[in-house]
Structure 1
Amino acid sequence: MKKIALISGSYSLTSRLNGLAAYAQSYFGSRARLDVIHVHQLPAGALISADYKDRKITEANKLVAESDGVIVTTPIFKASFSGILKTYLDLLPQHALDGKVVLPLALGGSPAHVLAIKYALEPVLSELGAQHIIQGAYTIDHQVKRADNGRFEMEREAARRLERALRQFEENLQRLEASPVISH
């Protein structure tokens, strides 16, 4: 079974960004083990002081290290990804994403910031060793609604884009598994 780490750069569990994470969990169902790292639930002191030895930080980093693929979700503010996400990404080892398939998903207030994934987030993911970055999906926040039951509902167009990105992510996970490993 594939292991996927989903790093959520949201600031709360009620954020509509969590609708993207819920969609990914629903998409994979029992086909993969999906571990969610809610960065805002990691110790603030450890994040701010860059305490990579903190137990909760090392546990989160272990989930990333043991994963086959990583999904990174973030709100987009002022044409960039969330600061809390950057704070956590700074605590990952330098080559933490090497050999992993990576999918960035973002939620923003308008289509004006759609390129933030490409020009703000992807360079940081590349710096962490990501070589297999799948084209991300950008969702406008009004396309994700909070339902009365605490769940999220996605507008059809946004769901189609997410589904396409997740399918490409899954196909690349399978392709990477099938390719021979070359050791140096």
Structure 2
Amino acid sequence: MTQKRRNDKLTDIIILSGSPSKHSRSKLAANYAGKLAEEKGFTVKEISVTDFAPEDLVYARFNSPAIVAAGQAVSNAKGLIIASPVYKAAYSGVLKSLLDLLPQDAFKNTTVLPIMTGGSPAHLLAIDYTLKPLIANLKGESLQGVYLCDHHINKENPEHPVSDKETDVRIQTQTNQLVEAIRRNHVASVVK
């Protein structure tokens, strides 16, 4: 594995929240996974599509200071959590707009935990057929990921939003796998 440029003062895990809604279920699920990682000693920062001027995303302003800073943060992260609601059987268009502006190898040698939410189990495969290929295109190493039905998320409890025990176990398991992959990659880069 090629060593990625790292700075210990930078954020360990970046959450890329792809929902245009400030109070979305996918954002709650991703932030919950981030909280679990923080409990294991990792620093976590969220970057949301709502953090950017719409013009930067719509007009593909690659040189926007906010876009450049996001690209650097993502490229320097040791792990990523990407979250999106399912829109029309895929990730959100605004998430795609943001990812299109990141460097082509922004996820290189980085483990990525994909999280998607949708109205029913009918969209379960959206992670495998839409989000994982995009992660691979950006050179990321995708974990299995977690799909949550909307009714599995309790918006009234943002500290512990996952209301379904089985789904909670899946998020905890996937977050543990993300943390372990980051630790393995760190050990491998130190040994080199």
> Normalized against structure 1, the TM-score is what?
0.91
1:103 counterpart residue number:
113
> Normalized against structure 2, the TM-score is what?
0.87
Query: Quick one: which amino acid aligns to residue 161 of structure 2?
Result: E
- CA deviations 1:105-138 (Å, max 9, x no partner) are 11111111111111111111111111x2111000
Q: 1:180 to 1:63 in 2, by over 3 A?
A: closer
Is 1:57 the counterpart of 2:67? The answer is yes
1: distance between equivalents of 2:151 and 2:174? 19
Note if contact 1:146-1:152 (Cα within 8 Å) is conserved in structure 2: no
Q: How many residues align?
A: 181
The equivalent position to 1:139 in structure 2, one of 148, 155, 160, is: 148
Query: Quick one: which amino acid aligns to residue 172 of structure 2?
Result: E
2:179 counterpart residue number:
170
Note if contact 2:30-2:82 (Cα within 8 Å) is conserved in structure 1: no
Note if contact 1:40-1:84 (Cα within 8 Å) is conserved in structure 2: no
Q: SS at 2:69's partner residue?
A: helix
Query: Quick one: which amino acid aligns to residue 78 of structure 1?
Result: K
Shift of 1:62: 1.5
Identical-residue share of aligned pairs (%): 34
The equivalent position to 1:87 in structure 2, one of 86, 97, 100, is: 97
Query: Quick one: which amino acid aligns to residue 73 of structure 2?
Result: L
Q: SS at 1:145's partner residue?
A: coil
**Unmatched tracts of structure 1, length 5 or more:** none
Q: 1:178 to 1:119 in 2, by over 3 A?
A: same
1: distance between equivalents of 2:112 and 2:185? 12
Q: Higher strand fraction: Structure 1 or Structure 2?
A: 1
**Unmatched tracts of structure 2, length 5 or more:** 1-7
- CA deviations 1:126-153 (Å, max 9, x no partner) are 11111x2111000101110111x76552
Query: Quick one: which amino acid aligns to residue 176 of structure 1?
Result: N
